[in-house]
Structures are given as structure tokens and as C-alpha cells.
Amino acid sequence: MSQKIEKPVLSGQRIKTRKRDEKEKYDPTGFRDAVISGLEKAGNDLEAISKYLDTAGSKLDYRRYGEVLFDILIAGGLLVPGGFIAQDGDKPVKTTACVFEQPEDMESMRNFEQVFLKLTRRYKYLEKMFEEEMKKVLVFMKGFTPAERIKLARMTALWISNGAVPPTVLSVLINEHLVKDNLALDFLLEVFVTWKQEKGLPSLMTALKKGGIEGRLMEFVPPNKRTDEYFRSVFENADLADIVKLHKAQASQEAKRDLQDLLLDDLADQKPIKDIVSDLKEMAQRCNIPEHDIIGLIWNVVMGQAEWNKKEELVAEQALKHLKIYTPLFGAFANTAKSELALILKVQEFCYENMNFMKVFQKIVLLFYKTDVVSEEVILRWYKDGHSVKGKMLFLDQMKKFIEWLQNAEEESESGEDDD
């Protein structure tokens, strides 16, 4: 029986690998040199720059070096940590075909923006890379000159307002070293002023809400200057008074949420009504929350405390029994006609939106009248022209007999005074 003899193998044999298995060396400086060379040949002709970038994408690996490409188009060269341009020896390697080398005027900014727009439209995969690049560049801002920051802010306003990057990129400015040195606030103001001039205030306000920036505006202010007075003066001096109003509205909403949470905690702890009133009044004064807003919050919380009966005939008795416990709480914040009317409108809205309560409206108002929470003057005003359109005819009809009784009682009272 013959045995199979192994063939000898030469030592140091080379194993041939397939080309797709070979990893290409990462070479950002080589990519940079190729792009800068092409841009320099295009000169200051923006059409030629766009044409070069369009054709270069088929030869150069934009997918791999997208971040480097945007470094060049924004700062002129390869950015290194700290916001400086990478050097060859003692000399920075830069091109003039970049945002930082454009004139500051808006026409020049808009013209150069087209370079980015055409590039990202041609190579759609660069859009996400551009967003990530912007987050990095904004953090590097301390290393840029004041003039470069202004140009970047103006271009950022154009990019965000035209949808090239989302407004959320601005949140990276809330960085300790940028906020402390006032760089974040100065940049934000320049972005806002440019945006207002280019796209109008409504567009800016919408973007702030969309990007979740509206509730964080105070965080851009240096900690040692973080007061409402300083915030107002800075934004008003930049002709951005509407931003101050937006900030106030947002702060008010947050204060109301805090007040509501406080009330929920107090009720959960079963605090006496007088203690709850004291807690609410203290916070309302501190946060400057008006009484007519507080009474609406109280209504929402109190009505949310009960599991309402699904039977219409039983819910009226349950509602009156439940509300009677809290009439002193409502009464503590019904000290003006505006607050009383706000409460009646809240009742109307609730009864309209909860079908089982449709027939309970008049009984709830009567309870508040009998416990001196709302006055006859305000009830008459509600009936005449202060009501909401929600369920208007149904609720006016419910209140008709009670209103007639109030009017007759008022006439009899006036008649008695005349007799005296």
C-alpha cells in the first residue's frame, strides 16, 4: 500500500491576497494636499471651485475623508485640536477657498454657501458628515480669530436656516470654556441677528423650538452674568427683544410645571389646605406666576386626583363632593375677577371635553358661587360675553334659570336700596 508523500514547501512563501482584503492606509494629509492643489488651480472662481469638487469626488475618497474636506472648506486646512491649522514644518498648509478667507458681507457669504449646497446635493452621504463636522468646528471656536468667528456665525445662520445642518448643532456651544469666555453667547447673537435679517424672526423662533434651544438660552450666558436683567439687556441691544419674550414664556412654562409638581407633592403628603396655599403663594411670588394661571393649574390637578364614575347620573354627586373639599384652595386664588372668570372657563372646557360632565357644569358653578369662590358679577359677565365657544349653547341654556334668578335678586336689591 503506497503512502502519500507530502510535497515540500519553500520557506518564506508569499501568500497572495485579494485586493479587496487589503486595507488602504489612512492618509488625511495626502487627501488634504490633493484637494488644496485642486482648489488653488480653481482660484477665486466659485463656479470653478464647485466644478472641481464635483469631479474630484470620483477620484478622491470623500466617504473616508469627508471631515477633512469640510475642514478645508471652512478653515482652509486640516484642523487639529484647539482649532489650529495643521502645519508642514513651520508653515500652515492652507487654501484661500474657504469660509474664513471670504469677505464678511452677506452677499459673499451667500455666494460661498452655494459651494457647500452643490457639494452636499451631489454627494448626499456628506450631509450627515457635515453635521458632525459642525459640532467639532464649533467646539474648536476658541482657536479662531474674532473675524473668523463672525464669518462662521453668519455662515452657520445660513446653513441652519436653509436646512444644511439642524439647529441642534448650536447646543454644542454650551461648553464650559466657550460659555465662560462669552464666546458662546457672542456667537449665538451673531447667528440670531444674521438669521433675523436673512429669513425673518418667525423662522428663527420656529427653529429654536424645533432644536430645543428655546429652553436653554440662559445656559449660553456666562455663569457670573446669568441674570434676567443681563439677558434682557444683551438681547435687546442686539435688536432681539422677541427672543427675550420667548425666554420669558419658556421660563414661565417651567415655573408652572414646578408649581404643579409642588401641588401634587403637597396633596400626596396630605398637607392641610392652609399649608398648601402657603407653599403655592410662596412659589408663585418667587416665580412671578399670575393668580389666574395658578387657579387653572389647581383645577387641572384637583380634577386629576379622582377616578370618575362612568355613569352620568352618579358623576355629578361625586364631582360636587370632591370639589367641596378644595373650595378653600380655589378661594385662596380667586381674588380678582380675572381669576374667577379663568376658573369658570376651566370648568366649561372640562365639562365640554368630558361627556359625563356635560350636565354638571351649572352645579359646579353654583357650588363655587355658594362657597364664595366666584361672584355673581363674574357669573353674569361669563354669561353675557365671557364664555368660550365650547359647548356654548348647552351651557348657556343650563345657566339660564340661575342667571335670571341672579338678575332678579340684583333688581330687588337695587329696589330695596331705592326704598330705603
Provide CB contacts within 8 A for 219, sequence distance 6+. 174, 179
**The pLDDT value given to residue 8:** 53
Kindly report, residue by residue over 309-358, the tens digit of the pLDDT. 888 889 999 999 999 999 999 999 999 999 999 999 999 999 999 989 99
Mean pLDDT of 66-74: 95
Of the listed ranges 1-10, 119-128, 261-270, 378-387, the one predicted with least confidence: 1-10
**The pLDDT value given to residue 6:** 58
Supply the pTM of this predicted model: 0.67
**The pLDDT value given to residue 21:** 46
**The pLDDT value given to residue 312:** 80
Higher per-residue pLDDT: 385 or 21: 385
Of the listed ranges 76-80, 126-130, 187-191, 244-248, the one predicted with least confidence: 244-248
Q: Quote the percentage of the chain above a pLDDT of 70.
A: 91
Kindly report, residue by residue over 121-162, the tens digit of the pLDDT. 999 999 999 999 999 999 999 999 999 999 999 999 999 999
First to last CA, the chain: 143
Q: How many helices (H) and strands (E) does the chain have?
A: 18, 4
Please state, in angstroms and rounded to a whole number, the distance separating the CA atoms of residues 383 and 307: 30
pLDDT at residue 420 tops 50: no
**The pLDDT value given to residue 406:** 87
Kindly report, residue by residue over 299-323, the tens digit of the pLDDT. 999 999 989 988 888 999 999 999 9
pLDDT at residue 1 tops 60: no
- Band (pLDDT 50/70/90 cuts) for residue 412 is low
| Domain spans, the chain | 27-159, 294-410
- Band (pLDDT 50/70/90 cuts) for residue 395 is very high
pLDDT at residue 268 tops 70: yes
Looking at beta carbons, which pairs linking 109-115 to residues 24 or more positions away fall under 8 Å? 109/151, 109/154, 109/155, 109/158, 110/158, 111/46, 112/46, 112/155, 113/155, 113/158, 113/159, 113/162, 113/164, 114/46, 114/50, 115/46, 115/49, 115/50, 115/53, 115/73
Residue 63, classified by CB atoms within 10 Å of its CB into exposed (0-12), middle (13-18) or buried (19+), is: exposed
- Band (pLDDT 50/70/90 cuts) for residue 212 is confident
Residue type, 412: E
**The pLDDT value given to residue 413:** 58
Of the listed ranges 17-21, 175-179, 238-242, 386-390, the one predicted with least confidence: 17-21
pLDDT at residue 371 tops 70: yes
Please state, in angstroms and rounded to a whole number, the distance separating the CA atoms of residues 359 and 394: 9
- Rounded mean pLDDT of the chain? 89
Mean pLDDT of 91-114: 92
Mean pLDDT of 63-90: 90
**The pLDDT value given to residue 214:** 82
Per the DSSP assignment, residues forming a β-bridge with 84 are 80
- Band (pLDDT 50/70/90 cuts) for residue 220 is very high
Does 294-410 carry CATH code 1.25.40.180?
Answer: yes
Mean pLDDT of 97-124: 95
Q: How many residues does the chain have?
A: 420
- Band (pLDDT 50/70/90 cuts) for residue 366 is very high
DSSP letter (8 states) at residue 131: H
